[in-house]
Structure formats: structure tokens, C-alpha cells
Amino acid sequence: MTNWNAEAAQKIVQGKANLPGALLPVLHALQAEFGYINPDFVPEIAKALNLSRADVHGVLSFYHDFRDKPPSERVIKICRAEACQAMGASKLEDHIKRSDVTLEPVYCLGNCACGPAVMIDDKTYGRVTPEKLEELLS
Ligand code: FES
């Protein structure tokens, strides 16, 4: 991942602008390169793809995977699939939103019998309570 650079971002956009349905490939490529999509760059994306800014904003806010700021060092994924939701995963989400971490949604971590399941920096944990989550993060 590299720091945001408007010139490099422009090159990425130009490289994919002619693909059919170019917006998603462009956004994915920008995030893969920089870790996020700089909101200041939305007008450039819209212009290059002949879309309105609202179109680009709409897609960015619809897909939770797209970030509008660089990810913090800790990435936490809380399972949003049914088995984990039934065991209180949303409580964990509300809890963690208050901390300085990058929270990413995920749909099943393959740990359904031990919900709610959480992945912290690529390691999976089960039966996570808000207290346990604090412990794991400290
Ligand atoms: S439903 Fe959460 S790990 Fe499978």
C-alpha cells in the first residue's frame, strides 16, 4: 500500500476508464493501491468516467468495503452472518465503533459454532464478548 497520490490515482482511473462498468474496478484498484479512496478525488473519478459525483458517492456509500480514510493498523472483522448476529455480534460492533480501529464487515468466518466470531489482524476468535474484545485489543 502506498500513500495517496493524485497523479498515481489518475493513472489508475485512466487505465480502467474504458472498461464496461468501470466504476467498481476503478474503486477497487484505488483501494488496493492506497488502502482507501480519498473523498477529495471523487470529482476526478466522476469526470473521467462520465458520471455524476452523486453516482460515485452512491456506490462508495453502498459498499461498506470502501474506506474513505487510510486504515488504522489494527483491522477487526466482526462476522455479520446470521449465526453470529444471533449470538450478539452487533453488540460488539457498537462497542468497537468507539475505539480507534478499522472495522470491516465480514459474512462468516467459518467459526459459526463459536459465535460471535471476530478476526483481529488475520486471527479468528470465538465467543467474543465486549470485555474479551477489549482484552484482545490491549
Ligand atoms: S456465521 Fe459467523 S462465523 Fe459463520
Q: What is the CATH number of the domain that holds 34?
A: 1.10.10
- For residues 79 and 108, state if they share a domain: yes
Q: Tell me, what's the pLDDT at 33?
A: 95
Rounded CA-CA distance 24/84 in Å is 29
Quick one: how far is CA 61 from the chain centroid?
11
Assess whether the C-beta atom of 79 lies below 6 angstroms from ligand 1. yes
Considering the domain boundaries, does residue 79 fall inside one?
yes
Residue 24 CA to residue 31 CA, distance in Å, equals 11
Q: 82 lies in a domain?
A: yes
56-103 confidence digits (pLDDT tens): 999 999 988 898 988 776 889 999 999 999 999 999 988 887 667 888
Domain assignment of residue 100, given as a range: 75-137
Looking at the CA of residue 111, tell me the nearest atom of ligand 1. Answer: 3
Count of domains observed in the chain: 2
DSSP characters over 14-35: HHHTTSTTTHHHHHHHHHHHHS
Dist CA 102 CA 57 (whole Å): 20
What contacts 5, CB < 8 A, 6 or more positions away?
34
The answer to the question of residue 1 being in a domain is no
| Ligand 1: centre distance to CA 102 (Å) | 20
**Ligand 1 in reach of 111 Cβ (< 6 A):** yes
Cell of 2: 502506498
Is the same domain home to 43 and 10? Answer: yes
Entry pTM: 0.59
Rounded mean pLDDT, 35-42: 95
Are 96 and 121 in a shared domain? yes
Q: Is the CB of 114 under 6 A from ligand 1?
A: no
